[in-house]
Structure 1
Amino acid sequence: MLSGRIPGQQGGRVAGAAAVSLWRRVWPFRRPALSSAALALGLAGSGVLILRLVQRQTGTTGLLVGLGLALLPLPFVLGALAWLNQTARVPLRHLLFCLAWGACAATTMAILANGWASDFLIAHQGVRGETLGAEFATPLIEELAKGAALLVLLLPLRRRHRCEQDRPCGRLRRLLWHRPGRPAHFRPAPAGRQRARSSPRTLAAGTVLGGVTACGFAFTENALYLGRAFTADRQARLDAIGQGEAPSLRDFDGTVHTFVLRALLSPFAHPLFTALTGLGLAVTLTTGRRWLARLGAPLGALLAMGLHGAWNAAAGLGTDGFLLVYGLVMVPCFAALVSFSVWAQTRRARQPSGPD
Structure 2
Amino acid sequence: MPRYVERPRQRGRTVLIVLTGIGVALGLVEVVVVAAGAEALEGARLAIIYALVPLPVLWFVYWWLDRYEPEPRRYKVAAFVWGGVGAVGIALAVQVLLGETTDLTQKELATFVAPASEEPAKGLFLLLTFLRWRRIIDGFLDGLIVAGLVGLGFAFVENIGYYALSYAGGPDVPIAGAEGAAGTFVVRGIASPFAHPLFLSAFGIALGLAVGIRSKVLKVLVGTLGLAISMALHGLWNGSASYFGGVGFALTYVALFVLFVTLAVVAIVARSRQVRTLERSLSYVAERGWIHPAEIPYLSRFGYRKQARRHARRHHGRVAGRIVRRYQRLATEMAFLHDAIMRGQTKPHGVERTYALLDAMYGLRPALRFPPPLPVAHRR
What's the TM-score, normalizing by structure 1? Answer: 0.68
- 1:153-209 deviation digits (Å, cap 9, x = unpaired): 356x45xxxxxxxxxxxxxxx3237xxxxxxxxxxxxxxxxxxxxxxx721011000
CA distance in 2, matches of 1:87, 1:308: 30
Structure 1: tracts of 5 or more residues without a match: 1-28, 159-173, 178-200, 238-248
CA distance in 2, matches of 1:266, 1:303: 19
| Matched residue, 2:264 | 338
- For the structure 1 residues 250 and 83, does the alpha-carbon distance in structure 2 shift closer, same or farther, using more than 3 Å as the test? same
Quick one: which of 45, 53, 76 aligns to 1:64?
45
Alpha carbons 2:166, 2:177 under 8 Å: kept: no
Alpha carbons 1:102, 1:214 under 8 Å: kept: yes
Deviation, structure 1 residue 72? 1.1
CA distance in 2, matches of 1:291, 1:340: 27
CA distance in 1, matches of 2:216, 2:155: 34
Equivalent residues, number = 269
| Matched residue, 1:175 | 135
Quick one: which of 147, 154, 162 aligns to 1:217?
154
Deviates more, 1:131-140 or 1:54-63: 54-63
Matched, 1:81 2:62: yes
Deviation, structure 1 residue 108? 1.9
CA distance in 2, matches of 1:324, 1:98: 31
Matched, 1:130 2:106: yes
CA distance in 2, matches of 1:34, 1:290: 28
Deviation, structure 1 residue 257? 2.0
Amino acid at match of 2:202: L
Deviation, structure 1 residue 287? 2.5
3-state SS of paired residue (1:93): helix
- For the structure 1 residues 142 and 304, does the alpha-carbon distance in structure 2 shift closer, same or farther, using more than 3 Å as the test? same
Deviation, structure 1 residue 77? 1.5
CA distance in 1, matches of 2:228, 2:46: 35
CA distance in 1, matches of 2:215, 2:256: 30
CA distance in 1, matches of 2:213, 2:31: 40
Matched, 1:151 2:98: no
Matched, 1:325 2:325: no
3-state SS of paired residue (1:315): helix
CA distance in 2, matches of 1:51, 1:338: 30
Q: Where do residues 293-312 of structure 1 align in structure 2 (5 Å cutoff)?
A: 293-312=219-238
Deviation, structure 1 residue 60? 5.2
CA distance in 2, matches of 1:78, 1:37: 23
Deviation, structure 1 residue 306? 0.2
Q: Where do residues 74-113 of structure 1 align in structure 2 (5 Å cutoff)?
A: 74-113=55-94
Alpha carbons 1:49, 1:108 under 8 Å: kept: no
| Matched residue, 1:228 | 165
Deviation, structure 1 residue 227? 1.3
- Alignment RMSD (CA, Å): 2.8
Quick one: which of 129, 133, 141 aligns to 2:117?
141
Deviation, structure 1 residue 264? 1.0
CA distance in 1, matches of 2:186, 2:235: 20
- For the structure 1 residues 78 and 55, does the alpha-carbon distance in structure 2 shift closer, same or farther, using more than 3 Å as the test? closer
| Identity percentage of aligned residues | 28
- 1:201-253 deviation digits (Å, cap 9, x = unpaired): 721011000000100110111111011111229xx99xxxxxxxxxxx99644
Structure 2: tracts of 5 or more residues without a match: 1-9, 283-334, 338-380
Alpha carbons 1:47, 1:105 under 8 Å: kept: no
Deviation, structure 1 residue 318? 3.3
Amino acid at match of 2:233: L
CA distance in 1, matches of 2:151, 2:196: 5
CA distance in 1, matches of 2:88, 2:160: 11
| Matched residue, 1:25 | none
Deviates more, 1:213-222 or 1:109-118: 109-118
3-state SS of paired residue (1:286): coil
CA distance in 2, matches of 1:309, 1:250: 27
- 1:93-138 deviation digits (Å, cap 9, x = unpaired): 110110111112211222222111222332xx4xxx3222111110
Deviation, structure 1 residue 294? 2.9
3-state SS of paired residue (2:208): helix
3-state SS of paired residue (1:86): coil
| Matched residue, 2:309 | none
- For the structure 1 residues 105 and 251, does the alpha-carbon distance in structure 2 shift closer, same or farther, using more than 3 Å as the test? closer
CA distance in 1, matches of 2:80, 2:192: 18
Matched, 1:282 2:208: yes
CA distance in 2, matches of 1:256, 1:318: 23
CA distance in 2, matches of 1:250, 1:110: 26
